[in-house]
Structure 1
Amino acid sequence: MENNSSKFKNLIAKGENEELAFLPSFDLEKIAQTICGLLNAKGGRLVIGIDQNKNLVGIPNDISVEEAEQYLVQHIVPETPFDANIETYNGQRFMIVRVWEGSKQPYIFEGTIYFRRGIHNQKATSEEIASLIHTRQQNELHWERQVSFGVEWEDLDQKLIRKIMQTSQKNRRSNYEGEDLLEFLNHYGLFNNGSFTNACVILFAKNPIRFLPQARVRLTEYAEGKTDKSLIRDEVLEGNLFSIRERLEQYVQNLGTKSIFDEKHWQRVDFAYPEKALQEGIINALIHRDYSRFKSQMTLSVYPDKLTIANSGNLPDDINIKDLKTNHRSFPVNPDIAHMVFLIGYIDKLGRGTLKILEECKEAGLPTPVWKQSKGEVILTFRGPKTDTHKAGALLDNDAIKRLNDAVSDAVSDAVSDAVSDAVSDAVKNRLILVIKLLYIEGALPLKALMNNLNVSRATMQRDLLLLNSHHLLQRIGSDKYREYELNDALKQKFDALKN
């Protein structure tokens, strides 16, 4: 609570600006005007219970978040997800409403388009309205809104559509009050000019791969390492987003207890991944996945000591990996898909999904999950408990090294020779070549695993890795407490091409 109070105090100290507004009283009309203005600008927060001079006024105890939510949903069009919560500070109650820059601008309250300029909410000028409409038109060209040709009404799961419609009305996240399913889809941009959109197919088609084969999801489970021989499950899931989510969640619910043997303490370490964190990771991947490419893919892979969720796409330009560990603005790649998932309640607060994952893993006593972005793919890795045997007990697979074809072996040798100085001895070069081959075969490895496999001291291994990293042959991933090393993406792709 003390931390929340500190954050609230720091927020108020900033004073009003383009993205932070104060209101002294719970005036629903002024609240809606302010939220509308923020939606049409850069988004931001509204704090209710503070006047323009930063005087803490507070709000009465009988005022609820639900009252504000219902009013905003009913009076601002088009509707948008937002966060509203009550904050207590110095014995007084305040309400904070948070919104992000709208993806469906312009937003209108009671027939008027409001725009946030500095610390004021004013009626938008003709130039601002024209700019907002132009932005909206650009958004309408988004892949989600494009027509999915050949889709008929019978191709959609009408029972599912009705369930989503009724659930969103019951939980008051939807402002659509009718009962017509087509009108409901039209209301949310999923049915336009007599045609169904790509987003509608992803969400509601009975058999979406008939129209969008990239909608498949792969589920794999490995007994040991990432080799074909160790595969104990390899399944391709087909269906709409909601059915795939349900099947993946059923799978993670049945994962149960996993075990790692810690050789240092000669004991088995049992653990379970936090179910809620895995569910959050799954729905985030399904929402933010780049479905527009035919080569798009999403995979959930389970290993003895880790679980990864990978989906095609990239983080938005305004967000980096570090931002995922803090409160951050949400820029969904697929806003229509994300909004439908929000309506049914599978996501509650925009930008908080990653924080929930971190909180759940911390509470379960597991290492901090790691997000990584490589070319065209975002990967989330959940890890088992930290032990001294995480890949460190397995000795170098000489047979696997020997199985590398001549083209790959020559390419590894050339990459190392081209990178390091002639002053480096042949013994060091040979060891560096083995490091590269081992990382190519096994994937990411920690320092100790490399030390054990190559039978060298920590200082020697650290020097080797520093040398390889300085020449961009490998990259470091993970936190300072749990560091791993893997091949540079470009180098790995080069070897893959020679391998095939």
Structure 2
Amino acid sequence: MTRNKEIKDILKEGETNAIEFKINANKKSIGNSVSALLNSEGGRVLIGISDKGEIKGIDNVEQVSEDLRKHLIEEIVPDTPIDLSIEHINDKAIIILKVSEGSKQPYIYDGNIYYRRGSNTVKATSKEISRLIHQREVDEQHWERQVFLGFAWDDLDHKLIKNTLIESKENYRSSYQGNDLQEFLNHYGLMTNGAYTNACVILFSKNTSKFLPQSRVRITEYANSKTDNSLIRDEALEGNLFVLRDKLESYIYNLGTKSHFDDKNWKRIDFRYPVKALQEGIINALMHRDYSSYNSQLTISIYPDKLVIANSGKLPEEIAIRDLKKNHRSFPVNPDIAHIVFLRGLIDKLGRGTVKINEECKIAGLKSPTWKQSKGEVILTFNGPLASVAKRHSDLKNKSIDATNDAISDAVNTAISDAINDAISDATNDAVKSRLKQELVLLYIEESLSLRSLQDTFDVGRATMQRDMTLMNENKLIDFTGSNKTRKYIINKDLMEKLKSL
């Protein structure tokens, strides 16, 4: 489902306990609604939409959205991530605020506690406030909120804390505007009554493994299989969360090309794991691992045909494995740790990390990653090529030629043929028109492809494929995205909307 289609479906459904429309960016009205959703089960606020679901749009949307973000960060207490995005529908800009259920309820806005009752935002009753306060007291007994006895100010990396404070301001994600490092820690619950929490040790300790040895990360790289005695690397990494992240990112940048031997085709296949997907997998593991047990572990194992990240812990009860490949609400296992990571700009849209991992692997032409929960571990596996690059290209070509498969209906197939015949000159021979149609069908199925993928799929030269793409672009059948180096081809927006409506 495209983003525009998803939004239009929401507009048809109308306002609910989790959806609210705002015709304009009135800060007070939006603040009331956001705090109510934080105190309830989360949801979305769509700004630039009438009560009846009509798209009115927002003028000067960039400035309005930035002003609104700053206002909400400054006025909602306690501090919370603000997930704000701008979307364009029917040439009109709207703002969408995605709100997760708050981990530090109750949230206060303008001196009041608001709650979501049905499709209405109302002031919370004394009973509702009591329940929220009780739940917060329970939550604050969580491991990351517990004080670590014997840990002192000199055990902290003061430069790292200062950089985090500065970055949180530069990212407009922090409501703390002072410069005192201890006040900063206290503001975010990492310090209480002069003592430091477990979360503070994980995030900012100079020698984390001295206090919490379970914070180590082990990397093992195998030459062949897991039973092979020849190891390329076997190392335990130490440091706080940000140090570990830097070490692991340096490792994946230098991981280089991997080789997988396809015994069916007697061919060596070279490939690279998508760096962005590995980055997401690493930061998710560091944020969400269960640090509470001394037996806790995070291991990264690299084989010739796969990379596995195994993390102590379990998925939140609210999330199933099947939810990880689609947009879902975020339920951080360690909300204090996750929030500091958010302040530094290392995560953007909570609940989107696993979706981005899947998307990056798809773009790289690799099999979808898999998640599994087993024996107190969450295991993420990045897969190498399906069987061979040739098989991938063969599968793509079969998709484009066989218009009777599930990915494309007869109506869409006919519409694509008509679009080619109407736009392309009769002087173009039938063989070229047939190939153009197959290319357009493939772009409809895959959504975007590089020139090289199209070349390999249709077994034509670079110049031929460039001519095809230029011809269809000039006739408003396709568009380009990205720079010359990263260019991808997509179906023209108006044509895609027409095809999606069939």
Q: What is aligned with 1:130? A: 130
Alignment of 1:310-329 (within 5 A): 310-329=310-329
Determine the structure 2 residue equivalent to 1:360.
360
Tell me the residue number matched to 1:431: none
Distance 2:65 2:278 in 1: 29
Deviations for 1:212-233, whole angstroms, at most 9, x for unmatched residues? 1111110100001112613221
Is residue 2:65 matched to residue 1:65? yes
User: 2 CA distance for matches of 1:339 and 1:73?
Assistant: 13
Deviations 1:254-302 (A, max 9, x none): 0111111223333221100000100100000000100001100000110
- Between the aligned partners of 1:177 and 1:309, the Cα distance in structure 2 is 37
2:45 corresponds in structure 1 to 46
CA apart distance, 1:26: 1.2
Q: How does 1:151-190 map to 2 (within 5 A)?
A: 151-190=151-190
User: In structure 2, the residue corresponding to 1:58 is in which secondary structure?
Assistant: coil
* 2:276 alignment partner in structure 1: 276
Amino acid at match of 2:9: N
Does the CA contact (< 8 Å) of 2:35 and 2:114 recur in 1?
yes
Aligned to 2:90: 90
**What SS is found at the alignment partner of 1:229?**
coil
Q: How far is 1:82 from its partner?
A: 2.6
Unaligned runs of 5+ in 1: 390-500
Deviation at 1:174, TM superposition (A): 0.6
**Counterpart position of 1:56:** 55
CA offsets per residue over residues 119-167 of structure 1, 9 Å max, x none?
Answer: 1111111111111111111111110010111100000000000000110
What residue in structure 2 maps to residue 25 of structure 1?
A: 24
Deviations along 1:68-112, one digit per CA (max 9) or x if unpaired, are: 111100111111113111111122221110111100011111111
Question: Which AA in structure 2 matches 1:169?
Answer: K
Task: Give the equivalent residue in structure 1 for 2:471.
Answer: none
1:164-222 deviation line (CA, Å, top 9, x unaligned) = 01100111111100000000000000000110000000000011122111111101000
Tell me how far 1:354 sits from its aligned partner.
0.5
CA distance in 2, matches of 1:239, 1:93: 44
Q: Does 1:386 align with 2:386?
A: yes
Quick one: distance in 2 between partners of 1:79 and 1:287? 18
CA distance in 2, matches of 1:180, 1:195: 16
Deviates more, 1:106-115 or 1:177-186: 106-115
Aligned residue in 2 for 1:493: none
Normalising to structure 2: TM-score of the pair? 0.76
Deviation of 1:386 after TM superposition, in Å, equals 1.9
State the AA in 1 paired with 2:374: S
Q: Is 1:8 the counterpart of 2:7 in the alignment?
A: yes
After TM superposition, list the pairs within 5 Å mapping 1:61-460 onto structure 2: 61-62=60-61, 63-227=63-227, 229-387=229-387
Q: Partner of 1:94: helix, strand, or coil?
A: strand
Structure-1 residue corresponding to 2:482: none
Is 55-64 or 187-196 further displaced after alignment? 55-64
Is the CA contact (8 Å cut-off) linking 1:82 and 1:350 kept in structure 2? no
Percent identical among aligned pairs is 59
In the aligned structure 1, how far is the partner of 2:123 from the partner of 2:262? 65
Structure 1 counterpart of 2:444: none
Cα separation, 1, equivalents of 2:2 and 2:333:
32
Cα distance in 1 for partners of 2:121, 2:263 equals: 64
The answer to whether the 8 Å contact 1:312/1:378 transfers is yes
Judge conservation of contact 1:82–1:100 (CA < 8 Å) in 2.
no
Whether contact under 8 Å (1:263, 1:388) holds in the other structure is no
Contact kept in structure 2, 1:105 and 1:133, CA below 8 Å: yes
Structure 1: distance between partners of 2:121 and 2:66: 24
C-alpha separation in 1, matches of 2:60 and 2:69: 17
Decide whether the 8 Å contact of 2:20 with 2:119 is kept in 1: yes
Superimposed CA distance per residue, residues 39-84 of structure 1 (whole angstroms, 9 cap, x where no aligned partner): 0111100011122222322211345422211110011111111311
Distance 1:239 1:55 in 2: 52
Q: Which amino acid aligns with 2:365?
A: G
Of 223-232 and 328-337, the range deviating more from structure 2: 223-232
* Distance in 2, Cα, partners of 1:94 & 1:81: 20
Deviates more, 1:194-203 or 1:228-237: 228-237
**Comparing 63-72 with 335-344, which one deviates more in the overlay?**
63-72
Please tell me the root mean square deviation across aligned C-alpha atoms, in Å.
1.3
Cα distance in 1 between the residues matched to 2:246 and 2:202: 14
AA matched with 1:152? A
Amino acid at match of 1:313: G
TM-score of the two chains, using structure 1 as the length reference: 0.76
| AA partner of residue 13 (structure 1) | K
Q: Are 2:73 and 2:82, in contact at CA under 8 Å, matched by a contact in 1?
A: no
